Amino acid sequence: MMCLITSRSLSLENRRKLLLVLARDYDLNRSQVRELIKQYLGLELPADKAQVSGSEDEGLFSSFYRIERNLRHALQPVYEVLFERLNTHPGGLRTLTILRADILSILVEENIASMRALDSYLKEKLITWLSPAALELHQITWDDPASLLEKIVAYEAVHPISNLLDLKRRLGIGRRCFGYLHPAIPGEPLIFIEVALLKDVAQTIQEVLWDSPPIPESEATCALFYSISSTQLGLAGINLGKFLIKRVVTHVKREMPHISTFATLSPIPGFMSWLLSKLASQTVLAEGDNLSQPQVDGSSSSFYENILKPKEEEALMSLPKDIATGKNGMDVMLNLLTSTSHKWIHSPELLSALKPPLMRVCARYLLQEKKRGKALDSVANFHLQNGAMVERINWMADRSEKGLSQSGGIMVNYVYRLDHIEEYAHSYFSNGEIRASSDLHRCVDPE
């Protein structure tokens, strides 16, 4: 089995079959588990444990201890032995991350209970093996081996590196790049983060990536995290970034005590898809009979919500018909934002009409839209659970095709206030509380 698992010559379909066998035939012996539970339930506790002496206690409870020990052993799946042995082999940890990537790809296509259990167990093992104590913080520089630098270029997921000059700038004066390395996967960062040393918190990605020359590092007061990328698909859902950010903050603070602000300039990847879906659904509802015919109490459909303020509606409906059309403000907004050429960013008139509603609704999306009690946006959830607060949203901060498609060009600054990181992380984890600046709260409801 181990030889088959470690072989990369197998086709994707054969790896899928092999993993299904592993998940279904090498998990628990449930008959044994049921029998042990039956034995355990048949034991009787002493009526008054406080009155049992030490020697009697050992005798009475020995059966409990024995069955509990046997249960712990029986509840360990057979494939645990395979994982443990594989982890001790050279290249084994890399193979296990590739194995989990295969498992995740299968689960995307088909939700198989035994495969979910296999994934959950392997994920727990990887979390243990990749504890912060086992990871090395490495500052990546231009002097590192070419093979490592090539991986930085290949795996940069937020702002693609265009050429060697771009890479050299990101590793040069006024910039830092840090990665987590593991001795079992040499020469390849599991995750890396890019940092800009600035006088103030940047409002656009253009000033981070392209503006030059950088300021002297001695004049910097802000360390801005502008990109964090994972290199291993098989480590999805394992929050190495949380520990990396904290280690980098500690390192930078020690190296440059004059740095007082630690912030991010982050994308908002889910905003535009959420907004367009909402605009489309509300437009359909607006055209329905449920709005044209008032209900008994005089109200409209409880599902309908005009997300625009009266002044925003008026501004959108006042636009010349040759550049913007629609039956109402939301319809106009939907038509403009679904344009694949993004013509609206080149028109001062359209930008002026779109900025107020987009900024306000984006603030609402970040602070109020949730899933299972946590921020709906994945990047927001990542930084908030790490103890950051939402400081500011920035208009036309990323004019790239990706930035416009994901968030209408808006980016957000999260700030890590060192004295409050644990407090903010705890309140977010406990009750979903999102800490944000007063300016951002006013942006949600300016009136």
Could you give the residue numbers annotated as active site?
266, 383
As to burial, measured by CB atoms within 10 angstroms (0-12 exposed, 13-18 middle, 19+ buried), residue 332 is buried
Q: Would you say 235 and 97 are in contact if contact means Cβ atoms under 8 Å apart? A: yes
Which run of H or of E encompasses 139? strand 136-139
Contacts of 395 (CB under 8 A, 6+ apart): 355, 358, 359, 409, 410
Which run of H or of E encompasses 423? helix 421-431
Separation between Cα atoms, residue 231 and residue 190, nearest integer Å: 5
> Token pair for residue 79?
């494939």
Contacts of 132 (CB under 8 A, 6+ apart): 243, 247
- Give just the sign of the alpha carbon dihedral 104, 110, 113, 115: negative
Q: Would you say 410 and 361 are in contact if contact means Cβ atoms under 8 Å apart? A: no
Angle between helices 12-25 and 92-109 (to 10 degrees): 90
Residue 187 CB neighbour total at 10 angstroms: 10
Q: In angstroms, what is the C-alpha Rg of the chain?
A: 28
